[in-house]
Amino acid sequence: MAHFILVVDDEPDIRSLVQEILADEGYGVESAPDAAAARQAVRARRPDLVLLDVWMPDTDGITLLREWSQNGRPPMPVVMMSGHGTIETAVEATRLGAWDFIEKPISLAKLLLTVERALEASRLRQENEGLKRRVSEVPEPVGTSRAMQALRAQIERAAQTEAGVLLEGEPGTGKQVLARYLHERSPRREAPFVVVSGGALSKPDAARDVFGVEEGGELRYGLLEQASGGTLYLDEVTMLSTELQARLAAALATRRFSRVGGHENVELGARIVAGTSRDLVGESADGRFDETLYYQLKVVPLRVPALRERPEDIPELVRYFAGHFADRDQLPYRRFTVAAQNRMRQYPWPGNVRELSNLVQRLLILGQGDEVDQPEVEQALGPARPEKPRGDGTLPIDLGLPLREAREAFEREYLVHQLKLAGGSVGKLAKAVGLERTHLYRKLRALGVELKDGD
């Protein structure tokens, strides 16, 4: 398929000459007399290359190049043209991502050579970036917000130690990506990185999967041994059964364990990294999570921010996912307009990065055209969930939350209500709700329920 080139110049003779020469060379060519027409042409179809005049009557080419530039370069190669260019102009164009700068009157030989080299360089860059996406199983966590910069720095420091790491954050925030990133930054990077999903941890025979089996002549290595020398990531660690929690706590304490049905101890050679979307302080206070295991896992606790807490990262994430799915699934690449990105920045993203990723993939699959604009994003996001009013007997709980978060919200509202009925007395509250007083204090503290002095 012929490359499509856009020629932007306010001089009709130059536009006609360049268009004729490039068409004779087999390129598809369209021309625009000014910046407004150039914007429209780029919106209608993404060119493979733009030849852009610097001096135009409505908007200069440098300003137009600045509009198109993303992350330091435009989405297609741009070659600047000028009849009276200066070094300062060339430097500015290069800084904004222009591929080259040629002077008028244009040498036809130089023009064709520049076009050929720019298109070849663009092809090689795209192939290289696609290859990197395919072979890199561990993308660096996306985002340049202050929160993500701090989190990456913490992970890289923790990676150089053997300390237990606990990643705490809402579902969909990318805890597994961060665990893999930690592994790749550690001295264990050449060894396996093994993931245990929360669903696997809740199975009745999960101990056999984690610790392995040695009975009746059968020897099967568990995930701890499969990850030996490397890292075992326990996703949603609160789904471990009570028995499994106790076994894991003992293994971490002694750095040894036995397989199910076995009698010989095996050395624990894997590093354990855990993730949770639950408040383990509250889980431990209620006796639902082994307190010893909690302290073993949280030597280095790292909080993963929700996407709504770092909206400045959304444009970068959108570009990453658009490129990722276009390459992986061979989908047409679509550019998200500033208005579309701004609408996405305002959305609360209850499903966090996972929800954003799914939305971008859906828009690439179902959408049409090179651009995604605000109305298409609005339609894809759907109507906002109405908040339930207080005072009508209903609780202000978002029914779109995951079960555990909804339960935590209910417990908070329930205990606040019962505390009011008890006149602020924790002793009366403990009797009313059937909880031991020490556990109740921990529960209230974990849920963020403040008590008045003296209570």
Q: What is the pLDDT of residues 274-287, one digit of tens each?
A: 999 988 888 888 88
362 occurs within a structural domain: yes
**Does 414 share its domain with 290?**
no
User: CB under 8 Å to 123, separation ≥6 — which residues?
Assistant: none
- Among 381, 413, 437, the domain-final residue is 381
- Which is higher by pLDDT, 260 or 200? 260
- Among 251, 272, 303, the domain-final residue is 303
**Does 96 share its domain with 244?**
no
> Where residue 118 sits, what CATH number does that domain have?
3.40.50.2300
Q: What is the total count of domains within the chain? A: 4
> Where residue 351 sits, what CATH number does that domain have?
1.10.8.60
Report pLDDT for 408: 73
CA distance 58 to 36: 8
- What's the pLDDT tens digit per position in 225-235? 888 889 999 99
**Does 271 share its domain with 318?**
no
Range of the domain at 366: 307-381
Task: Give the C-alpha distances (Å, rounded to integers) separating 403 from 160, 285, 304, 333, 373.
Answer: 36, 19, 20, 36, 34
141 occurs within a structural domain: no
**Does 117 share its domain with 220?**
no
> Where residue 398 sits, what CATH number does that domain have?
1.10.10.60
**Does 372 share its domain with 399?**
no
Would you tell me how many other CB atoms lie within 10 Å of the CB of residue 60? 16
140 occurs within a structural domain: no
**Does 82 share its domain with 182?**
no
Q: Give the tokens for residue 226.
A: 């499969």
Least confident of 52-61, 355-364, 422-431: 422-431
Least confident of 13-17, 247-251, 333-337, 444-448: 444-448
Report pLDDT for 328: 86
Burial class (CB in 10 A: 0-12, 13-18, 19+), 384: exposed
**Does 394 share its domain with 414?**
yes
> Where residue 213 sits, what CATH number does that domain have?
3.40.50.300
Q: Which of 182, 197, 190 is nearest to 229 (CA)?
A: 190
**Does 78 share its domain with 174?**
no
Report pLDDT for 392: 45
- Among 277, 303, 329, the domain-final residue is 303
Helix axes 338-346, 374-381, angle to 10 degrees: 30
Average pLDDT for the chain: 84
40 occurs within a structural domain: yes
Report pLDDT for 136: 42
What is the reported pTM? 0.56
Residue 399 predicted with pLDDT over 70? no
Residue 454 predicted with pLDDT over 80? no
Residue 351 predicted with pLDDT over 80? yes
pLDDT (average), residues 183-190: 90
CA distance 409 to 421: 19
